[in-house]
Structure 1
Amino acid sequence: MLATTLTALAMFSAATAQMTIQVGAEATTSGGIFQYIPNSLNATNGTVITFEFSGAPGNHSVTQSSFADPCTPLAGGFDSGWILLSDAPSTPPLWNLTITDDSKPIWFFCKQLLPMPHCSAGMVGAINAPASGANTFANFQAAALKFQGDSGQSVGGLVGIGASASAGIGPVPTDATVFGEPSGATLAASAASSPTATSPSTATGTSTSTSASGSPTTTTSSASKAGAGFISVVIAAIAGISLV
């Protein structure tokens, strides 16, 4: 009887386990702005990974990729969308991702492009990466650092491969903006979810999303560059660089 009870409690604990990953960091943080903290962890099925968007100022995403192509969104993968924070929020926006298949590694990256591509600056993460062999997190990050060009900008969904979310990012502070929400997300107003709502008219890009009918659609988007001027100025000020 006792053994049965302990087994049930262990199963309940595993099913409700929760871990937190910080998205983005401060310029004074060891490792710099472009990172997830921690950037690699192990989690069993049913574990809820809470991504805490607290790096400010910042504009980041959590986008599933693959070991073979760390800076390109994985087809059928999960995607948080971008969230732009102009200042440190009193209540950080959160995004909950539940592990559904712990038998394979889950890889992800930030697809923001400015002031430089975050992925090739090393902003990548992993869940259940092998501790040894060729496909370790260290090798995944090394491949990202060698990536040249812009990372992929397609918009994924709430349900990914090996993990899924039931809702978009929230709560969203009044001084924050969500762009490029994944298909199926319901939290943001239409103005906030429009990739061009507050972005510079000269910044453009192409993204792929899913329509209400489920059909893929390609739209012109500047989501990853929204707020770029503001962020560049802040980072330049921190580094003591003149942009004039």
Structure 2
Amino acid sequence: MYATLPLLLAAASLALAQYDYGSGSAATTTASAAASAASSSGSNHIVKVSNAAGDLSFTPNNITAAVGDTVEFHFYGPTHSVAQSTFAAPCAPANANAFFSGEITTTGTTANTEIFTYNVNSTSAIWIYCAYASHCENGMAAVINAPADGSKTLAMYQAAAAKVSGTTAPATVQGLVKGTLSTSTSSTSTSTSSSASASATKNAGVEARGGVKWAALGFTGVVAAVFGSLIV
């Protein structure tokens, strides 16, 4: 009878160690992992393609974005597009894989319900222009991650574009994610991210408390077994 006592106590110690009873480390680790996952999503940069006044502009036209960020284009009237170029050859497709939204025609002074999003996968400079006839030559251009050393600037690109005899549009609509405009795009995105983080943290806490609960029950069972064997 007494010989089994050390074995039972050892089993109790192992059960408690497995679940980190009382240390809270399981909850901390899981919650930290959840918070890390929630914070890994990038920022969304909204760019207006023209505006209510019909200006030949991108606003903002000089964007700094990290890998994992998105750049979301909102179109105003009358007709505009988003296309990828190079600094060396303004108002022309960068290559056969250059992204292109196609021409988007918008009536009225509000933004089109159709939007296009570019997923940033590099910090290299991305030069952008409107491929609708003569818009690029008249300064409708933008850049994502212009070189920090100032060797290539948007102003330089626009100056070179003004000398181009004609704008060339990419042959294929590609490279951008098509979507539908929400009137609260930014707040919705932020709210969803925060909710996901809070939910993940809450679930992590519930999971950890569940582990502690079962550890406590296991410990109670072991103690009961010890006293039962002593009584016998």
TM range (shorter): 0.5 to 0.7
| Larger helix fraction of residues | 2
TM-score by length of 2: 0.58
Give the aligned residue type for 2:156.
N
What's the counterpart of residue 139 of structure 1? 156
Give the aligned residue type for 2:100.
D
Cα contact 2:141–2:158 (8 A) shared by 1: yes
| Residue aligned with 2:156, SS | helix
Give the aligned residue type for 1:67.
F
Q: Tell me by how many angstroms 1:33 deviates.
A: 0.9
User: CA separation of 1:26/1:135 partners in 2, compared to 1, >3 Å: closer, same or farther?
Assistant: same
Q: Which is bigger in relative contact order (C-alpha 8 A, separation at least 6)? A: 2
What's the counterpart of residue 152 of structure 1? 168
Q: Superposition pairs for residues 65-144 of structure 1, below 5 Å?
A: 65-75=85-95, 76-89=97-110, 92-102=113-123, 104-113=124-133, 117-144=134-161
Q: Tell me by how many angstroms 1:72 deviates.
A: 0.4
Measure the CA separation in 1 of the matches of 2:33 and 2:147: 27
RMSD: 2.7
| Residue aligned with 1:96, SS | strand
5+ long unaligned stretches in structure 1 = 160-164, 172-244
| Larger strand fraction of residues | 1
- For 1:49, which of 59, 71, 89 is the aligned residue? 71
What's the counterpart of residue 84 of structure 2? 64
Cα contact 1:81–1:155 (8 A) shared by 2: no
Give the aligned residue type for 1:77.
A
Cα contact 1:14–1:44 (8 A) shared by 2: no
5+ long unaligned stretches in structure 2 = 1-24, 182-232
What's the counterpart of residue 44 of structure 2? 18
> Runs of at least 4 residues of structure 1 off by over 6 A?
1-8
TM-score by length of 1: 0.55
Q: Superposition pairs for residues 189-228 of structure 1, below 5 Å?
A: none
| Residue aligned with 2:127, SS | strand
Aligned length: 154
Measure the CA separation in 1 of the matches of 2:162 and 2:33: 44
Percent of aligned positions that are identical: 30
